[in-house]
Chains A and B, each alone.
Chain A
Amino acid sequence: MKISASDNMLKRFRHEFIILAIIVALSIIIGSINSQFYSIGNIYSLLKSTVIMGLFALGSFLVLVSGDIDISFTAIGAFCMYVTSKLVLLIIPGAGIVVIMLVAGLIGILLGFINAVFISLLKMPGLIVTLGTGSMIRGFLLTFIGVRIINKLPDSMIAFSKITFLHKAQANGHIVGLSIGFVVFIAFAILIYLILKYTVTGRAVYALGGDRVATARVGFNITKVQFFIYGTVGFLSGLAGVTHSSFMRNGNPFDLVGTELSVIAAVVLGGTSITGGKGSVFGAVLGVFLLVLINNSLIMVGIPSYWQRAVVGIIILLSTGSVALQERRSQGV
């Protein structure tokens, strides 16, 4: 039987289409209950809310595709954010935001390499390694570097949080704009997509998740690929950390840690196989959108505070359930 191109598309991106459909359906339901949902201010605000989780999710996605799990990335993010803020304030308080992000990213890469050493050279499972390194990095941060919230961040970090574009006037006359952070997130999503699709290392990430032994026999250098993966996770985490503190306008070393499971949930929700080898950047991004939408729209619908956590759980179960069901049906089981 011949399969047409569009059929093929639909099949390959079936999962993404379902998630997209759920997002659209939820938006219509929420919007019909409270029309303020469609206000430009709210949409910009939702998009801004995807940035931190999104940057983390891109890294987490890479690891999941390669068939492993990393739960240390939020600790890395908090570490990079706090250490970079302190360093910059101490040495070059006038540094620009790009320099600050590069410093944070570099620290992140180094921390990611620690994970890579254990996972790649010592062949330990990622979950165990990152459980250890995550707690180690956080402990080191809180014990040796500080627990005080930094209330006065470098000026360029505050300025970064105020950069917006696509300005529109709201009903009350106040001008709102889309945060630059969203562009950063989408730019990195595209970059990761391109790397995965068009570079040998990128293809090797998928291959590694599919079948490790075969990947090695074909001649890929698995060590190199894994250093690439965990280095990238570290870099993105550093970026996410700095962006987070910039958005909050303070550097709180206690922030971020604790959100890692939501991030992984978003990536899995987006169709990335938890056992590796399968998944798309597009799906991961959609998963983040869906989770942010669920988490940030319940007040809008008027669901009482007491019910919100229960409702979040139900929606996640229903979304993953419908996706799983669809997949099973398509396999004819």
Chain B
Amino acid sequence: MKKFLLLVLVLATMLGTFAFANGSKDAASSADEGYTIATVVKIDGIAWFDRMRDGVKKFGEDTGNDVWLVGPAKADAAEQVGIIEDLIAQGVDAICVVPFDVEAVEPVLKKAMDAGIVVICHEASAIKNADYDIEAFDNVAYGAHLMDNLAAEMGGKGEYATFVGSLTSLSHNEWIDGGHAQQIAKYPDMVLVSEKNETYDDQNKAYEKMKEVMAAYPNLAGIQTCAMATSPGAGLAIQEAGLQDQINTVGTSLASVCEPYLRDGSLDMIGYWDPADAGYIMNQIAIEVLEGRKIADGADLGVKGYDSIIVSPDKPNLLYGAAWVDVTLDNIEANLF
């Protein structure tokens, strides 16, 4: 019996060794054929980044490179940094990052670049340690565009409030600042009463804060929101308070998440850029850099909205597309995913 057990053990060990040998050989050969590129997002499992995963997957299928998407289970800067550390240790060729907190990832991205890994960011226009940062659009222009919509809904007058996912989320702040600047310049009869309430990308927080803002400012006529989970949270609060007609909304979210609230008028308009395209384009740019090409002004990256890239005049590693999409009740069907 003992001998038999020993035999099994030896066999198992040998099999294991073979399996390992195979595994490492596979990894080596795939490195010859294509690149390994990881896309690290703010939080995994929400519709926005699920959609981005679709884009990353499609990129993998189109190009044959080894690409995948990961993210922390909750929106947490430290966990995201930990994931990037792991990827550096694994020795991937490129890392695409949608940072939760730009400041927090700078050191780890520097470490990645020092290790020869290509770094591409998204939603982080101020990032220093990246080969390129690709934005779906100029954030200030997008914020102003949302404000124009809000002003049209509000008739150019009344009190409004703004929400950000996190005060450290740069793009959110730029949308809101862009909107605010537009309001000051073009809509003097509108008043910002409650600025940049933080919702932590959490629907419950957004719901609670929206209820409080409505209670504090009974004449509130509009809101501009940022994080995906904020719109349904705020929409639920508006619906429960029966203020569909009084409060106008613009925000950045996904049609599928906001559908019930868009249908009953609790939410009026959402803007977004397709995260699938953003995921695809980040990987595309990573390949360009890996193959030693530079992205020039007016470059066509072959995806709609990213067919005439604008290079920021102040920051050569900052690229813009022109890929925003407006969704209202009229075109909701076409944008459900």
Contact = CB atoms under 8 A, between A and B. Distances in A.
Interface stretch (A193-201, A218-226, A229-237, A293-301): A293-301
Report the interface size class on chain A. Answer: 35 or more
A215 interface: no
Most-contacted residue by chain B among A45, A175, A257, A306 (CB, 10 A)? A45
A250 B203 contact: yes
Nearest to B203: A248
B257 A151 contact: yes
Interface string A236-264: 00000000100111101111011000000
Given A45-B211, A172-B246, A176-B241, A304 B43 contact: no
A149 interface: yes
Contact of A255 (B204, B214, B260): B204
Contacts of B45: 142, 147-149, 253-254
Contact of A299 (B197, B202, B218, B243): B197
B43 A254 contact: yes
A305 B198 contact: yes
A254 B216 contact: no
Contacts of A299: 194, 197, 209, 212-213, 216
Interface in B140-164: 164
Interface in B23-78: 43-47, 50, 73-74
A266 to B, nearest CB: 15
Contacts of B195: 304-305
Nearest to A171: B218
B47 A149 contact: yes
B236 A248 contact: yes
A204 B199 CA distance: 42
Nearest to B45: A147
A296 B241 contact: no
Contacts of B233: 248
Contact of A151 (B204, B236, B256): B256
Nearest to B239: A249
B289 interface: no
Nearest to A252: B203
Contacts of B50: 148
Contacts of A174: 241-243
Interface centre among B44, B45, B47 (most CB of A within 10 A): B45
A71 to B, nearest CB: 15
A284 to B, nearest CB: 21
B31 to A, nearest CB: 28
Contacts of A138: 73
Interface string B239-262: 001110010000000001100100
A260 to B, nearest CB: 13
Interface in B149-201: 164, 167, 194-198
A36 interface: yes
Contact of B167 (A151, A176, A250, A306): A306
B207 interface: yes
Contacts of B257: 151
B208 interface: yes
B74 A36 contact: no
A248 B207 contact: yes
A39 B207 CA distance: 18
A171 to B, nearest CB: 6
B216 A34 contact: yes
B242 A45 contact: no
Interface in A139-180: 142, 147-149, 151, 171-172, 174-176
Contacts of B115: none
A49 interface: yes
Given A151-B257, A299-B194, A305-B197, A36 B242 contact: no
Contacts of A300: 212, 215-216
Contacts of A210: none
A258 B236 CA distance: 23
A308 interface: yes
A142 B73 contact: yes
A275 interface: no
Contacts of B213: 299
A252 B241 CA distance: 23
Contacts of B214: 41
28 contacts: A36-B215, A36-B217, A39-B218, A41-B215, A42-B212, A42-B215, A147-B44, A148-B45, A149-B46, A172-B243, A172-B246, A174-B243, A248-B203, A248-B233, A248-B236, A249-B236, A250-B203, A252-B203, A255-B202, A296-B208, A296-B211, A299-B197, A300-B215, A302-B194, A304-B195, A305-B164, A305-B197, A305-B198
Interface of B: 43-47, 50, 73-74, 164, 167, 194-198, 202-204, 207-209, 211-218, 232-233, 236, 241-243, 246, 256-257, 260
User: Ordered nearest first, which 4 A-B pairs have the shortest CB separation?
Assistant: A147-B45, A42-B215, A174-B242, A300-B216
